[in-house]
Amino acid sequence: MSDRVLFLDIDGTLRPHGCRPADGPWAEARDGVCPDRVALINALADIPGLSVVVSSAWRSDVGTMGALFRQGLAIPLHPAWRTTLDVPPRPGIRVRGWQVERWLAAHPAVRRYAMLDDEDEFPQRLRPRLVRTDPFVGVTPGHVEALARLLGG
């Protein structure tokens, strides 16, 4: 049973700006995840009960799942693999945090979670669980260590 969740952003984490295709249609770019960054987060695959929930804008396309695994992702996706596409009912609410909290409310069995994201769209109460990347660099070994501390044990 999955009781630990990594909320995964993609642009700026697994696909830093330095890895973007210089040209080509967006549909091709979707598979442009950097395999070396995927390999880094695969170090988390040993954590028992860990699964991924996609919080990225990529989640609007079900092809996201295939793209992630074609690039070597070794952590399973949660059966409820993405956060809601709904947006907050009124302005002033941090969108991604609201979406993560809605997902968590629907999955009370989750004991540990963390977010990997290059932007801070989260309320203060979620920030201790946020591992934030530089969008030009993406995820680094240091970020993976921080995620392992939040998700392991």
Q: Are strands 112-117 and 77-82 parallel, antiparallel or unpaired?
A: unpaired
Shortest distance (Å) from residue 12 CB to Mg ion: 4
Shortest distance (Å) from residue 10 CB to Mg ion: 7
Shortest distance (Å) from residue 48 CB to Mg ion: 28
| CB of 11 or CB of 97, closer to Mg ion | 11
| CB of 2 or CB of 126, closer to Mg ion | 126
Residues that bind Mg ion (CB under 5 A): 9, 11-12, 118
Q: Are strands 4-8 and 50-54 parallel, antiparallel or unpaired?
A: parallel
- The answer to whether the CB of 84 falls within 8 A of the CB of 102 is yes
| CB of 2 or CB of 40, closer to Mg ion | 40
Sheet holding 77-82, edge to edge: 77-82, 50-54, 4-8, 112-117, 130-132
Residue number of the CB closest to Mg ion reads 12
Nearest to 11 by CA among 27, 28, 45, 34: 34
| CB of 2 or CB of 37, closer to Mg ion | 37
Shortest distance (Å) from residue 108 CB to Mg ion: 27
Shortest distance (Å) from residue 14 CB to Mg ion: 9
| CB of 100 or CB of 118, closer to Mg ion | 118
